[in-house]
Structure 1
Amino acid sequence: MSIETAMWPLQVAVVERLEKESALTSKVTGIYDVVAEEHTHPYITVAEPTTQQLETKTAYVEELAIVIHVWSVYPGKKEAIDILNEVVKAIGKGLSIEGPFKLLEVKKPTLQVIDDADMRIKHGMARLMVKIKNS
């Protein structure tokens, strides 16, 4: 059985899903993999993919986690929370992944908003857990 990780296809699927939501894209200046210093807040980054293999004799399944970050300089946490709400709505509409993969499960994201080391910045996080079978 030939296997490969679904880490990058999952990131692409998440970004594509988020970019399709005008209610979300109207609240942010962009959705990025890499952020340059000149990007204006608020914006989203998609990062920290991790995987755990759940291989059996007949199947190769990955449980993947990916973190969607919201970066805001709005005074207080409201803007970050509003954007996270739009992220949850977007992900709730489903993901479509390319390649030799089959989505088995997409759990609702866990959410958190914290003060960044730079106290001007509010940092929202949506941790998404997904099970994908390598077909």
Structure 2
Amino acid sequence: MLSSSSALRAAIHRALLRDSALLAVLGGPRVYDEPPRELTFPYVTLGEARLTDLSVDGGRIEEHQLTLHAWSRHGGHKEAHSIAAALLSALDDAPLTLSGHRLVNLRFAIADIRRDSSRAYHAVVRFRAVTEPAD
């Protein structure tokens, strides 16, 4: 059985690749767990994750803090904002199915959009999720 964090990450990846609004903004299925060497902008990568045990009374409950990264070079600030909005729309309170686990909730936490040293715009979009084992 997959760990809760692996199951959640896989479900998020599937959901993003099926979201027509996000794919339209990206110009195709440019959502990567590990980006390829040859990249076409814009694109999204699944980033860092933090897992916290919130278990009580013998029940296993876990809190996940997940980071998604969106990258825009030619569309600039506006495109980075559009991608962040599409990520929010695709995932906030999404009813994702996880292998071996149940998603209690998935909520948008914060987005930070800035230009990096390579002159690309970088949107960092964070979500908070809570999972428990499937019955």
Aligned equivalent of 1:21, options 12, 19, 22 = 19
Contact map agreement 1:4 1:134 (CA 8 A) in 2:
no
Aligned mates of 1:19, 1:116 — CA distance in 2: 26
TM-score (norm 2): 0.87
Give the C-alpha shift of residue 56 in structure 1: 2.0
Aligned mates of 1:87, 1:81 — CA distance in 2: 10
Contact map agreement 1:105 1:130 (CA 8 A) in 2:
yes
Which has the larger displacement, 89-98 or 5-14? 89-98
The residue number in structure 2 matching 1:11 is: 9
Aligned mates of 1:4, 1:18 — CA distance in 2: 20
Aligned mates of 1:102, 1:65 — CA distance in 2: 16
Moved over 6 A (4+): none
Consecutive unaligned residues of structure 2, counting only runs of 5 or more, are: none
What RMSD in Å do the two structures reach over aligned CA positions?
1.9
Name the count of aligned residue pairs.
132
Matches within 5 A, 1:29-48: 29=28, 30-48=30-48
Aligned mates of 2:50, 2:112 — CA distance in 1: 18
Contact map agreement 2:91 2:107 (CA 8 A) in 1:
no
Secondary structure of the residue aligned to 2:3 is coil
- Alpha-carbon distance change, 104 to 91 in structure 1, aligned in 2, over 3 angstroms: same
Aligned mates of 1:86, 1:75 — CA distance in 2: 15
TM-score (norm 1): 0.87
- Alpha-carbon distance change, 4 to 22 in structure 1, aligned in 2, over 3 angstroms: closer
Give the C-alpha shift of residue 4 in structure 1: 7.0
Which has the larger displacement, 64-73 or 74-83? 74-83
Aligned mates of 1:44, 1:75 — CA distance in 2: 14
Matches within 5 A, 1:1-135: 5-28=3-26, 29=28, 30-74=30-74, 76-92=76-92, 94-118=94-118, 120-135=119-134
Aligned mates of 2:68, 2:100 — CA distance in 1: 24
Aligned mates of 1:134, 1:75 — CA distance in 2: 41
Which has the larger displacement, 34-43 or 86-95? 86-95
